[in-house]
Amino acid sequence: MTEGLAAGAPQILDLLNYIEQVEKLKTKPAFSVPTEFFVAYQHELKGLPELQFNLQVEGDDVWLRLPRLQEIAAPEPDEVLRPWVTLPKSCEKAPELKGEVIILEGKREVARERIEDHPEVRELFDWYVEYLWEPWAAAERPRRKTIARYNQLFSLQQTISSEGADTPLELAWGIGYASWRKEGFATPVKYPLLVQPCEVTLNEKTFDLEVRPRDVEPRLEADCYAEIELPGVRQLEAFWRSALATGANRVNPFEASTFDGTLKSAVGHLDPSGSYEVRTDDVTPPVPSDKLKITNTWVLFGRKRSGDIFLEDIRRLKKKVEEATSLPSVIRSFVEHGDSTVRVRPEQPFRGLSTSDGGSNAMELFFPMAYNDEQVSIIRKLHANDGVVVQGPPGTGKTHTIANVICHYLAQGKRVLVTAKGESALAVLQEKLPEGVRPLSVALLSDERDGMKQFEHSIQTIASSVASINPTRSAANIAAAEQKLNQLHAKISHVDRTVAAYASKHMQQCQFQGLEVMPEQMAKLVLQDAQAHLSLIHI
């Protein structure tokens, strides 16, 4: 056994490392920032009106707050100029002066006037453009850029929030934009080195969009450099792991001290002839050249999640395995040699099934909803084994079964964790639970931040309910309920024994007219001679 690790941990870590590498082979490394969902570079957001960066809100880091602005219409020309001017909706296109104006009475044209005959109109137009329209357009252009960015990010936010955990998209904040056209490699690098997964939420009061870093570690995304087969990738990854291990994992794009060291180290490991540039005024991404260039600039973009979440789970699990002092047997069984002998384990009896007289080791079955033999079999298998696989097509009652199983273990004072690939399955299951049990279920649904708020609210509600319970009275009620339950089982057991006694008599032979016959044969003989027996009764 490796020193410092629990029994079975080295094999588990080897298995997780293998799974991690296999998953990485499926993932195509990103060389460029994806643009199909959402992308905003630092220089594109810099200077836009009413944007706010790096805020503290209720103890949370808010890296970006994007307000919901309304378009301001162009100033209206006066009554003399208005018929002669065509105002565009866009502030990028200048207003135009018409060559002529048609004068109508009702719907009938009565005259046409040409601009050549109205020099005063041209003077008014020039004055309007210079002193009214151009100042408005200069202020409105950046404002409408903010509006356009808001609409793009809102569309991404709606996609993510509507699909919940099923969504294939995530918002990422890339720090340390790198560019490089490596000699001998056709695809240039135009991608940030550090990426922090973020969540975007809609403030229901102000309708502002707020971007926060998720409560997960930032990622060193060096897959494109591994694809180029640079020897320094391993050393860079080791440096990054060391930085995370020392607790230096709080990356903030607005605090250079949180990422400077890693970016400088990246240049040294990946391309010693490259450079790290600190940009302040001009934060435009550099154009790829034959030398690696990493800057302190950032980019916000949407992308497909692919295997990132799965890999993140593997990394977390590896960390937990390394820290554990012991591992559960069910975990060790994945990597340790099993017993070559097949042993049949005795089935756990439950009171209230085929009989209430289950013996001293009989357990209670706490199924509040209708059930069948298959559901009982699942509980019996779970009692004797570490796990059980239940398969069935849609509509066969899997959710109903899971709800019964949850109630059974909650009634025993145990904790139950339910996970699903999709959020909708968990929501349906929670609704399936009986009303008396539902308040005990805590669902982590929707986006991460709102999910944690719901989680805290559920915990507080449960804690409040528990605090209001009178332990003495509850213990007395439980004892009375158990006594009543035992009495009911005793009655059922008595009925079972009585029925069994009658059944036993029906299976014993008896004497009839000098013959040994079974009760059913005797019944047939009696029916055959029914008239004779009726005559005897009348006599």
pLDDT in the model for residue 49 = 92
pLDDT in the model for residue 111 = 78
pLDDT in the model for residue 403 = 94
Whether 239 and 220 have beta carbons less than 8 Å apart is answered as no
pTM for the model: 0.67
Rg (the chain; Cα; Å): 38
Residue ranges of the chain with per-residue pLDDT less than 50? 1
The first and second tokens of residue 352, run together, are: 């209230």
Q: For 187, which DSSP code?
A: S
pLDDT in the model for residue 343 = 78
H/E stretch holding 437? none
pLDDT in the model for residue 40 = 95
86/115 Cα distance (integer angstroms): 14
Provide the residue ranges of all domains of the chain, joining segments of one domain with +: 1-27+306-335, 32-69+164-301, 350-468
Q: For 446, which DSSP code?
A: S
Q: Which residue stretches of 433-518 are H helix? A: 448-467, 471-505
pLDDT in the model for residue 164 = 54
Whether 467 and 459 have beta carbons less than 8 Å apart is answered as no
DSSP string, 409-433: HHHTT-------SSHHHHHHHHHHS
Return phi, psi of residue 363, to 5°.
-115, 160
pLDDT in the model for residue 1 = 46
Return phi, psi of residue 267, to 5°.
-60, -45
The first and second tokens of residue 177, run together, are: 């934009």
Cβ neighbours of residue 205 closer than 8 Å, sequence gap 6 or more: none
The first and second tokens of residue 178, run together, are: 């790198």
Q: Which residue stretches of 246-357 are H helix? A: 260-270, 308-323, 329-332
